[in-house]
Amino acid sequence: MNELIIELTEISPRDFFGQQNETIELLKKYFPKLKIVARGSKIKVYGDEELLEVFDKKFDALTDQFAKYNKLDENMIERVLTSNGQEDYQSSKSSGDVLVHGVSGRLIKAQTVNQRKMVDACSKNDMVFAIGPAGTGKTYTGVALAVKALKEKQVRRIILTRPAVEAGENLGFLPGDLKEKLDPYMQPLYDALRDMIAPEKLAKYIEDGTIQIAPMAFMRGRTLDNAFVILDEAQNTTHAQMKMFLTRMGKNAKFLLTGDPGQIDLPRRVISGLKEALLILKNVKGIQIVYLDDKDVIRHGLVKKVIAAYKTIEHHN
């Protein structure tokens, strides 16, 4: 009797097989002549060689589906197992303006008019500035666009960076190596990625450099090609940092810069590289600037009220 051994390396066996091993039960139903045994992250299949080849292809299609949508339900499994071609097996009701199928089947979309403008701008331009206050979804939508581009093989890697304003004294007093020191500062970027990519896959991407999260200083001297690059908190760049970053752009690259000119943490009398760039580049063809505002805030309802209250005080001052 022939044997086929498959190991799940980049996806969670528990999520893939289902709580009651639903995926395995459906495979047994569709391949009654094969003996299928699942233990841990391994599947052993016994039977006729030709049937094993068919099983192997179908199993590949199932893992592709799971990688794309981060879930498998009974309908999706049945569509994969009964189809002949390489079509997309996801039901049409979930498509449309979905950017990414996140972890646990979460549908990640552009939720506001200006977020949709961001998506449209990124599809038509290689460099986009997304400007707006905290909570407007600039970074989150940007990370979703980057993950979408990676999943669809439009780019080979994602590079996420922030100017570490506190990279001098404050971070110097923290224990641990550079990664440990910078991780808390990069946390919003990790949080967004964790919503969109399964833990095992995300860990592998970070380990092999497919996804890189680093402070701006690490961009110096590099040419960033075949990449979706996000500069977050761009208002905290200096003139020199912004010019350095913008000139890193290589072939087949998308650059998205997000920032809030109202929250600059630079020392006094240091001009924000973002504010300067918005003036210098506003009429350059191929670069688009999208402005988000209070109406795009999708955090707790109180966040909008807090922003409005602070605006009132700032206007009086």
Distance CA 106, CA 100 (A): 8
Distance CA 10, CA 8 (A): 6
Per-position pLDDT tens, the chain of length 317: 788 999 887 777 877 887 778 888 888 988 999 999 988 888 999 999 889 988 998 888 888 877 777 677 777 787 788 776 555 545 434 444 778 887 866 788 888 889 999 999 999 999 999 999 988 899 999 999 999 999 889 999 999 998 876 444 345 554 556 566 556 667 888 888 988 988 888 888 988 999 998 888 788 888 889 999 999 999 999 999 999 999 999 999 999 999 998 888 888 888 899 999 999 999 999 999 999 988 787 666 687 788 788 888 877 76
Cβ neighbours of residue 62 under 8 Å, at least 6 residues apart?
16, 23, 72, 77, 80
Domains and CATH numbers, the chain: 2-93 (3.30.1370.10), 99-316 (3.40.50.300)
Q: pTM of this prediction?
A: 0.68
Q: Which among 224, 305, 296 is positioned nearest to 260, based on CA atoms?
A: 296
Distance CA 254, CA 5 (A): 40
Element (H, E) at 61: helix 49-69
**Which residue intervals of 134-236 are DSSP H helices?**
138-151, 169-172, 178-182, 187-196, 199-208
DSSP 3-state helix, strand, coil percentages of the chain (rounded to 5)? 50, 20, 35
Residues 132/304, Cβ–Cβ less than 8 Å? no
Tokens 């192997």 -> residue:
56
Distance CA 30, CA 91 (A): 21
